[in-house]
Every structure is written in C-alpha cells, then in structure tokens.
Amino acid sequence: MPPRKNGLRRSSATTFRRRLIIFRRLFRSDCAATELIEAVNLELNHDGYPPAATMALKHDLDALKHEYNCTIRFDRKTSCYKLLSVGDFAILDLPNESLDALNFIDKNFPDDNVLAAFINVQKLLRQIKMLIPNEAKPRGGIPLTFRNPGKQINEVDKRTYQVIRRAIDNKQMLAFDYTSNFELHDSRRHTVAPYEVFFRDGHAYLDAVVHSVSPAGHVVANDTVEYRLDRITRGSTRMLPTNIPPVRPPQSRYPLVYILGPEVARRRDLATFFNETTITYNDDGSATVAAIVSNLWTTRQILLRYGSACVVTSPPELVQMFRDTIAQMAAKYPST
C-alpha cells in the first residue's frame, strides 16, 4: 500500500468489515463503546482497533451514520449506543408471501400479550422489519389468525420464565412453589425435572416430571405434570445444582378409543388431536378413533368439545372421568 502521512492506509475491505461488525453488534442489542471495540478485535484480530481505539470507533460510528444513513444514539443513562434505524442496511427484499407471513406473526403474537415468551417473538419481528426498506414494509393485516379462547388475565412473571428457560437449557433440576386447582389457597413446594415450555388455550405451561412435593399432595413422584406458569408463586423459582436424569422416565401411555356420531363424522374430515391416531369410518356414518395419550385430564378437556356426539370406550380411567363429569354436570342442571 502507498504510504500516507499518518501511516499505512487500511484497505477499504477491512474498513467495511470493521463497520459491519459494529452494525451487527448494535443490531443485536445496545452496547457500550468497550463492547464494540472488543467485538471488532475479537473477529478481526490483528486488523482490529489499536490500543487507543476511542477515536477510531467514533470515526466508524460517524461513517455508519453519514455514509450508510444509520441512526445511532448514545444513551447517557446507560452509557450505551442504540441503533434506531438501519439506514442503507435495510436489504431484505421479501416476496409478498413472506410479508404476509410477517403480518400473520404480528397479528397472532401481539405486544400486549402477557405471556413473557411473546416478547421474544415481537423482538424478532421488529428486527426483521428494520431490515425491510420502508417502501416494502408489510402493511395492514390478513384474516388468517389463531383462535385463542380468552386472554390470560394473570401475568407470567418474567423472572420466573427466565429461570425456567435457563434450567431447561442447562438440563438442571428446578424447584418452585405452586398452587393448583386442588389447592386454592396453600401452595406446595415442587421439585421437578423441566423439559419444555409450551402454549395452549391462552396459557403457558411447563412440561415436567415431578421428583418431590412438600407437603405431599395429589401429585406423586415420577408423575408428568403440565404446570401453568402463572400459578407458580412469583420469586419462588430456583434452579438447583443437580442435573436432570439423562433419560426421561417413560410417560404413561393410555390406549384411547372413542366413537364420534354421524353428526360430526359423516363428512369424513375429522381432526386428529392425539399421537398415533387412526380413524375408521363406519357404515352408519360414525367413526371409531384410536390413539395414544399420556394426559387423561387434557384428553377429557379436548373430547368434551364434541358434547354428546362423543362416546369414550377406553381407557377405563377416562371412561370413569367422563361418568363423574357428566354426573356432576347433571347435578348442576336439575330437571324442572
């Protein structure tokens, strides 16, 4: 390279790479000057910043603002730089199908939902939208939505959710105080092996295997339980140093059989809700459905939606649950 008064001129490729690293780091999250310098030096090694890098970093930030039209602000309260607009780095030219998909996500994972995990979906959506030029950003909505019966009233504590996610990722045991439908006032201390967080019917659940409950309740060791996160006592969740067993205990497997009457089965387009489902359509228009389930309580809730059009014949435990439910409902609707 030809010499210059202030030393050798860095190649334009290296300069661009350095500024691209800064952009990527700011796009991920707000960060301090020292973090930006560290990110550049870590990736470029010998082509990174010199020991006195503050002024060089300022030149690169100015270039991102003036040459690439990025909007970057320094927050004096946090001493961090914030990327407010990506400017010319808005390089996603998405087809209409992808823009429709973004609208679908936006509509079904709203900002005001109290489930903590929705925050991550919305953050991802905002980052994707930042990379789309203004003239191509998705506008309006589409009619396709998830039907979510009701809106969760009780907020899932953000700290609780974070501890649970960390325990799942690290494969470590978890302990928390929990109040179920069976304990309206007093919570119990549950020690569990956590496996997954999932969403159903407007609620977030933890799929876990119970190791102990104190004081003892209706849940016993080695049961698989779906814990509603908003029923975990705020501030009680602790990740334990013990690792979860390398092999998950086998879940209960119940062979489910139920018959659906012609009023719902005659068109032969039944939905499948359970694992290993087989459907046999009968000559009278009814259908016999066989499947494997592991949670009888959830199975009952799903099949109750069919009302009198559904008759469960197996397993015996679920048949008894339906008998009890029907008797209890009949008692609440006495004949006049």
Query: How many whole angstroms separate alpha carbon 256 and alpha carbon 251?
Result: 15
Query: How many whole angstroms separate alpha carbon 274 and alpha carbon 295?
Result: 10
Signed CA dihedral, 134, 140, 143, 144: sign only? positive
**Structural domain count of the chain:** 4
Residue 313 counted as domain residue: yes
- Compute how many other C-beta atoms are within 10 angstroms of the C-beta atom of residue 173: 20
- Give CA angle at 221 (116, 212), nearest 5°: 65
Report pTM: 0.57
Residue 248 counted as domain residue: no
Asked whether residue 294 carries a pLDDT value surpassing 60, the answer given is yes
State whether 7 and 79 are in the same domain. Answer: yes
State whether 223 and 276 are in the same domain. Answer: no
* pLDDT at site 138: 62
Residue 152 counted as domain residue: no
Query: What would the DSSP string read from start to end of 286-304?
Result: -EEEEEEES-HHHHHHHHG
Residue 259 counted as domain residue: yes
Contact 233, 179 (CB under 8 A): yes
Asked whether residue 165 carries a pLDDT value surpassing 80, the answer given is yes
Residue 70 counted as domain residue: yes
Residue 88: strand, helix, or coil: helix
Cβ-based neighbours of 95, under 8 Å, separated by 6 or more = none
Residue 151 counted as domain residue: no
Mean model confidence pLDDT for the chain: 86
Contact 254, 317 (CB under 8 A): yes
Q: What is the CATH number of the domain that holds 162?
A: 2.30.30
Q: What is the CATH number of the domain that holds 278?
A: 3.30.70
Domain end, chosen from 243, 265, 289, is at: 243
Residue 145 counted as domain residue: no
How many helices (H) and strands (E) the chain has is answered by 9, 13
State whether 210 and 226 are in the same domain. Answer: yes
How is residue 48 written in tokens?
């990174």
Contact 223, 209 (CB under 8 A): yes
State whether 130 and 55 are in the same domain. Answer: no
β partners of residue 23 = none
In tens, the pLDDT along 103-138 reads 878 877 766 555 556 777 888 888 998 999 877 766
Which DSSP category does 10 fall into?
P
* pLDDT at site 166: 93
Cβ-based neighbours of 72, under 8 Å, separated by 6 or more = 26, 61, 64, 65, 81, 82, 83, 84
Domain end, chosen from 198, 215, 243, is at: 243
β partners of residue 200 = 203
Mean pLDDT is lowest, of 85-94, 142-151, 255-264, for: 142-151
Question: Does 182 or 124 have the greater pLDDT score?
Answer: 124
State whether 280 and 265 are in the same domain. Answer: yes
In tens, the pLDDT along 208-267 reads 999 999 888 777 788 888 899 989 999 999 999 999 998 888 888 899 999 999 999 999
State whether 204 and 264 are in the same domain. Answer: no
Question: Does 300 or 137 have the greater pLDDT score?
Answer: 300
Domain end, chosen from 223, 243, 263, is at: 243
Domain that holds residue 107: 96-136
